[in-house]
Amino acid sequence: EVQLVESGGGLVQPGGSLRLSCAASGFTFRSYEMNWVRQAPGKGLEWVSYSSSSSAVTIYYADSVKGRFTISRDNAKNSLYLQMNSLRAEDTAVYYCARAAAGSDYYFDYWGRGTLVTVSS
Amino acid sequence: SYVLTQPPSVSVAPGQTARITCGGDNIGVKSVHWYQQKPGQAPVLVVYDDSDRPSGIPERFSGSNSGNTATLTISRVEAGDEADYYCQVWDSSSGHPYWVFGGGTKLTVL
């Protein structure tokens, strides 16, 4: 059974940093592209970042987080990460780890339950 | 950047058919994917590549895509179908890949 479990969320002050983790199990993690998607309270879904599966990793970011967030992965630990720096109030959201479908980068076939990040003083 | 437009809400009686639209510029040439999200839960993929269903998703869920509108159709609606539904496409018109979501549609079962 595919499982994605996010952790690392919490309350942080504006300008602060936080590192999210996503522990994957039930599939060959190193073979899949992975993403972070967020959802502000009461709002819709927003894609945040993408990491390819290959050793020469290809990475993309949404314009709203580019230069502040860094995605990474450790295939030996079956884990995906999101380092978030210079956090703003508008970064407050539930952050989901989402797997790209096999053979297609274009949609997400499994999601974690999310971890809540609150940016507030 | 590419924009997807969904109606904020759709209401339907049990047993009837719900149609949720997703509008975008020439969206018919893109592959559209749909997610269901119930309160407090993670999204679940219900339709991919316009009209395919993942295993475990009932045949009552179907999709179509043409011109400037994609549509998620839920036949014989049940109370358990009440949820938010999001359409999504992949777009690279801005210079790098973007996974774009519509604003979401709240399906209410009367």
Cα of B16 to nearest chain A Cα, Å: 26
The pLDDT > 90 percentage for chain B reads 95
Candidates A44, A101, A104; nearest CB to B86: A44
What's residue A55's pLDDT? Answer: 64
What's residue B1's pLDDT? Answer: 87
Q: Which of B29, B24, B19 is nearest to B50 (CA)?
A: B29
Q: In this structure, are residues B102 and B3 in contact, taking their beta carbons and an 8 Å threshold?
A: no
In what side-by-side order are the strands of the sheet with A79-84?
A3-7, A18-25, A79-84, A69-74
Candidates A60, A62, A101; nearest CB to B48: A101
Cα of B76 to nearest chain A Cα, Å: 25
- Contact between chains at A50 and B99 (C-beta distance less than 8 A): yes
- Contact between chains at A44 and B103 (C-beta distance less than 8 A): yes
State the pLDDT confidence band at B94, using cuts at 50, 70 and 90: confident
Q: In this structure, are residues A101 and B52 in contact, taking their beta carbons and an 8 Å threshold?
A: no
Cα of A60 to nearest chain B Cα, Å: 7
State the pLDDT confidence band at A53, using cuts at 50, 70 and 90: confident
What single-letter amino acid sits at A101?
Answer: A
The pLDDT > 70 percentage for chain A reads 98
- Name the closest residue on chain B to residue A101, using Cα atoms: B48
- Contact between chains at A45 and B42 (C-beta distance less than 8 A): no
Q: How far apart are CA A47 and CA A58, in angstroms?
A: 16
Average pLDDT, chain B: 96
The 10s digit of each residue's pLDDT in B51-79 is 999 999 999 999 999 999 999 999 999 99
Candidates B42, B98, B103; nearest CB to A112: B42
- Name the closest residue on chain B to residue A114, using Cα atoms: B42
Question: Other CB atoms closer than 10 Å to residue A40's CB: what's the count?
Answer: 13
